[in-house]
Amino acid sequence: MKHGIRQLFIPGPTNVPDRVRRAMNVPMEDQRSPDLPDLTLGLFRDLKRAFRNDGGRVFMFPSSGTGSWEAAIQNTLAPGDRVLMARFGQFSHLWVEMAQRLGLDVTAIDVEWGKGVPLDAYEQAIGADHGHEIRAVFVTHNETATGVTSDIAGVRKLLDAHSHPALLFVDGVSSIASIDFRQDEWGVDLAVAGSQKGFMLPAGLSFLSVSEKALAASRDNRPKLPRSYFLFADQIAMNDQGYFPYTPPTQFFHGLRASLDMLFEEGLDNVFARHHRLAEGIRRGVRGLGLDLVAAGPEWYSDTVSAIFVPEGVDANQVLKIAYERYATSFGGGLARLNGRVFRIGHLGDLNEVMCLGALAAAEISLADAGAKITPGAGVAAAHDWYRKANAGADARLSNG
């Protein structure tokens, strides 16, 4: 299908709003120009607002989110350091793998895919660690592979309950700026995000938001992993003046200015509420089609991505292929053990109700073409009912307006 607008319903990269695309389409400029700090210092300040990180600071690395995963580890930990992690999807799996490659002593708790961070098991490990050998606790806030959101506040609570000094690392790549996230309140020490999700930018820039405690850890006397590209100290020395230790992708800064403006104009809480409202419509549509989510229960539902089991006998990859080639729609595939059994609808970023109805319509017709017995229109209808109800307040305003 070469005609018309393609629908992008993967959990990132997300649709870049026209306003952001326009803002990024700038001539190159001198990365050492006297004007640059006018732009960049405001970005650093407003990124902190987006992470709800009052005390610490946010780094911007020219890298994918994976780079910030590594930056977080390299700057605060040393080979052999013991860390507590959980594995409940492809991305939490990959973070464990990185920690192992970098030489950490990883205690990785395996959890059924469809659930999130295992508070009980974490509590047990933390409670047993009287010597405070666990240097860091890692949590994937939103597991993109399964559409599962974890309880970060709960992890903080158990650390506090045990007065455990471990650093709290959070992968918020597919949650931050879309799902409620409160770095200060939850005592998160290192939070990773990427440009290409809730920040509605192309891929290529990652954000690492760090607490004062993490900064202190990066400065203390303990030896750390060898590092240079991602070294905090170099960034800090330059960032404080609005500059960077190596050539930064300035076009992203203009785009980020626009995307932060959009987020704050809407209001972060409204952004989160919109993501919830849209996601719930998708979930009701999925149920309307008689399909099941990978997420094991409502407490795990992700407001940014839904992983959906196809009916028995249907090949999820065929659904993806049909959606892509025949209906101009990109859905996410089932990763690793979910391959062939699951397709994913990303519903985050610059999105509205009618786009979600379009996603469901594309899912319906692609499933049908792939041999699933579904009722045409049933998904759209279920979402339609929800969106009308969820917008009832708006209705009232409009009819009086």
364 sits near a copy of itself (criterion: CB under 8 A): yes
Give CA angle at 188 (187, 191), nearest 5°.
160
Asked if 345 and 339 count as a contact pair (C-beta separation under 8 A), the reply is no
CB of 243 vs a copy of itself, minimal distance in Å: 12
Interaction between residue 362 and a copy of itself (CB under 8 A): yes
Q: Closest distance between a copy of itself and the C-beta of residue 123, in Å?
A: 29
Separation between Cα atoms, residue 344 and residue 148, nearest integer Å? 12
CA 25 to chain centre: 25
Q: How far is CA 142 from CA 2, 67, 91, in A?
A: 33, 18, 9
Nearest CB to a copy of itself, comparing residues 100 and 107: 100
Q: Which amino acid is at 350?
A: D
CA 79, 85, 87, 89 dihedral sign is negative
Q: Annotate 62-102 with three-state secondary structure.
A: CCCHHHHHHHHHHHHCCCCCEEEEEECCHHHHHHHHHHHHC
Give 154 or 242: the residue with its C-beta nearer to a copy of itself. Answer: 242
* 80 and 103 Cβ atoms separated by less than 8 Å: yes
Please say which residue, 118 or 204, places its beta carbon nearer to a copy of itself. 204
List 157, 227, 276, 287, residue binding a copy of itself (CB under 8 A)? 227
Among 45, 299, 375, 396, binds a copy of itself (CB under 8 A): 375
Q: Which is nearer to a copy of itself, 150 or 235 (CB)?
A: 235
Distances (CA, A) of 177 to 121, 218, 347: 29, 26, 13
Residues within window 297-316 making contact with a copy of itself, judged by CB under 8 A? none
Which span sits near a copy of itself by CB under 8 A: 57-65, 113-121, 146-154, 155-163? Answer: 57-65
Residue ranges in 137-176 that form contacts with a copy of itself under rule CB under 8 A: none
Q: How far is the CB of 322 from a copy of itself (least distance, A)?
A: 7
Cα separation, 376 vs 378, in Å, equals 6
The H or E element containing residue 381 is: helix 378-390
Nearer to a copy of itself, 107 or 391 (CB): 391
- For residue 186, the minimal CB distance to a copy of itself (Å) is 26
* Count of residues of this chain found to bind a copy of itself when the rule CB under 8 A is applied: 106
In whole angstroms, the minimum distance from the beta carbon of 162 to a copy of itself comes to: 30
Footprint (CB under 8 A) of a copy of itself, residues 324-353: 324-330, 332-333, 350-353
Query: Does the annotation flag 344 for ligand binding?
Result: yes
Of 55-63, 81-89, 113-121, 183-191, which segment contacts a copy of itself by CB under 8 A?
Answer: 55-63
Segment interacting with a copy of itself, rule: CB under 8 A, options 39-47, 149-157, 301-309, 375-383: 375-383
Tell me the CA distances in angstroms from 97 to 110, 121, 191, one per residue in order: 13, 20, 18
Ranges within 75-104 binding a copy of itself (CB under 8 A): 79, 97-98, 101-103
What is the C-alpha to C-alpha distance for residues 227 and 229, in angstroms, rounded to an integer? 6
Q: Which of 261, 321, 340, 341 binds a copy of itself (CB under 8 A)?
A: 321
Tokens of 280: 């719930």
Among 251, 259, 302, 306, binds a copy of itself (CB under 8 A): 251
Minimum distance of a copy of itself from residue 160's CB (angstroms) = 31
Distance CA 373, CA 363 (A): 12
Residue 34 interacts with a copy of itself (CB under 8 A): yes or no: yes
* Residue in 146, 138, 203, 149 with CA at minimum distance from that of residue 171: 138
Binding site for substrate: residue ranges?
344
